[in-house]
Amino acid sequence: MSASHIDRRAEVVRLRAERPRSLTVRFSLVFFCALAVFAWVSGEIDAVDFLSKRRRANVERFLEQDVLPYPLRESVRTEGGGGTLELLWSWVAELWTDRGADAFWTTLWISTLAIVLAGVSAVILSAPAARTLMRTEPFARTPARGAGEWPWRICAEAVRFSLVGLRAIPEFVWAFLFLALFGPGAWPAILALAIHNAGILGRLNADTVENLDGGPLRALRSLGASRRQVFGLAILPLALSRFLLYFFYRFETCVREATVLGMLGIVSLGYWIQDARARQRYDEMVLFVVLGALLVLVADVLSQLARAALRRAR
Amino acid sequence: MISRRTGARFRLSGAGLVLGGVRVLQGVDLAIEPGEAVALVGPSGAGKTSLLGLLNASRRATEGVVELNGVDLAGLGQRALRRARATVGFVHQDFALVPNVRVAQNVLFGKLGGRGFLQGLRSMVAPREDDLVRAHGILERLGIADKLYQRTDTLSGGEEQRVALGRALFQDPVALLADEPVASVDPARARDLVALMQELAREDGLTLVVSLHDLEIAREFFPRLIGLRGGRVALDRSMGEVREEEFAELYRLGEAEATRAEEPRP
């Protein structure tokens, strides 16, 4: 090995020893590893308990008897066998026309109305919540400092803080509150979902605006455009695809949550899931759960179609 | 340093390229010999970057033949294609470095083309000392050896460009391509960099193809000039024979843009 090679090796070692290191990265790495270990070791979670005999028996009975649709169970008992499929079909059809269809569409309407309300307010709120826009000189490369900045900053932080407030309270709790205020019906669910999701979407949209490339926006400001003009005419087109991505993602969540909120007594799919469980009709319960999953699938397909159509539009 | 190997030989015959329904290259016939240094000039949109893409096998010619050292690039499978790409260093116009990792890491990326996924991961977590020493050696030739462990985004534009060049050299390439290296930095640094690339290519026996707009710099450092216009080779001769008017003609505004045939979308 040549002398220069050894020198170079030493030089690499020296440079490595002097490399800039981030304390934050190191600290958080150690901290989270420790936290994970602590959670496993100290908690009340007992892995063995999960497999206890009684639980297993419960699960077995559920899977072998309770879940079987009513006509199937009957035909197994009477050994008749004939026309089982037809019976099964008429059982499904009856449940669908009796309660399913109504609850299915109600769930879809609740979530659609809620997400539209949330989406519109979130786009509007994203402007005052975007810290890069809320400056004396928006999107400046090096933000100005001084007393003049304070009103803008306070305003932005206040909006952000209220957005946290909206989403800090779960939709379930919002719905609980509104049920007490307005009585049963679809509106408590719609408002609860709209408010919670406005908090989430408002924050995501505001972050999107903050992360936009400032170049074109600075250019518009430098030719005398107002904040509102910049927001409506440049920021919206720039951020629209991102806004829609979040919008449809939350739409999907809304559909799921609308089902869950039924358990509070709002007549969505969740209401009948709860009802079937109370009457110990697990076969019906499973049918409604499957309907709920189907609804999420529908929401997913809808959002895929909408986004594909937008991508094609030029 | 003595040249350890011969550079790449490129041969294009009737090569053409259609991108997104737009024809960007047409009927390109070229032969670039091992160790040659070529300046590639032409107005924006003439197809310089696309031609470099063909040479680097990152774009497949829509028609015609592109050969690297006698191998037709069109016939290669995924694995062979990766191997071919690994032998051609490419300095991108915007450097295309990963900004938030250390310089050493970006240089070490140069060898990903010959390695599997796990080996690549290893070079990130616990790089081999030999690799680091080699990276340091390359950075020293580029004059930024002391930046080995800096975060890449803390460097200046000129330094970043050198890191990009270092990554290409770490590939141990047979050819070095650079896309408008002059456009990205100020004139003094640009001249310096082209001189550096030319010197490195000569020392290592690499074939060098650099796209640029500056006739002065082209004259000074490259024995051969290839001019593109409207996706065709409009000029290909040794630098001494190129006249000012011919060069100006390449850049003349006018029908060249209009003649770029739009092909029907599929």
Q: What percent of chain B has pLDDT over 70?
A: 93
Q: In this complex, do A20 and B149 lie within 8 Å of one another by their Cβ atoms?
A: yes
Single-letter code of the amino acid located at B125: V
Given a cut of 50, whether residue B185 has pLDDT beyond it is yes
Given a cut of 60, whether residue B4 has pLDDT beyond it is no
| Domains of chain A by residue range | 3-46, 92-313
For the domain covering A92-313, report its CATH number.
1.10.3720.10
B residues 165-204 closer than 8 Å to A (CB): none
User: How many angstroms separate the CA atoms of B7 and B69, rounded?
Assistant: 9
* pLDDT attached to residue A49: 66
Listed as ranges, residues in chain A with pLDDT below 50 are none
Q: Is B24 helix (H, G, I), strand (E, B) or coil?
A: strand
Given a cut of 50, whether residue B258 has pLDDT beyond it is no
* pLDDT attached to residue B265: 42
Query: Quick one: average pLDDT of B31-35?
Result: 93
| CB distance B42 to B48 below 8 Å | yes
* pLDDT attached to residue A115: 94
pLDDT category at B264 given cuts 50, 70, 90 is very low
Minimum distance, in Å, between the CA of residue B136 and any CA atom of chain A? 7
pLDDT by residue (tens digit) across A51-63?
A: 677 777 878 877 7
Q: What are the chain B neighbours of A18 within 8 Å (beta carbons)?
A: 149
Minimum distance, in Å, between the CA of residue B7 and any CA atom of chain A? 26
Q: In this complex, do B133 and A12 lie within 8 Å of one another by their Cβ atoms?
A: yes
pLDDT by residue (tens digit) across B79-134?
A: 888 888 999 999 998 888 888 889 999 999 988 887 778 888 888 888 888 899 99
Q: Which residues contact A60 (CB under 8 A, 6 or more apart)?
A: none
Does the beta carbon of B137 lie under 8 angstroms from any beta carbon of chain A? yes
User: How many angstroms separate the CA atoms of A270 and A290, rounded?
Assistant: 11
Q: What is the mean pLDDT of chain B?
A: 87
pLDDT by residue (tens digit) across B36-52?
A: 999 999 888 889 999 99
pLDDT by residue (tens digit) across B158-184?
A: 899 999 999 999 999 999 999 998 887
Q: What are the chain B neighbours of A16 within 8 Å (beta carbons)?
A: 132, 148-149
ipTM summary value:
0.73
Q: In this complex, do A11 and B132 lie within 8 Å of one another by their Cβ atoms?
A: no
pLDDT category at B254 given cuts 50, 70, 90 is low
Tokens for B193? 């960099």
| CB distance B37 to B198 below 8 Å | yes
Q: What is the CA angle A257-A263-A264, rounded to 5?
A: 100
Given a cut of 50, whether residue B259 has pLDDT beyond it is no
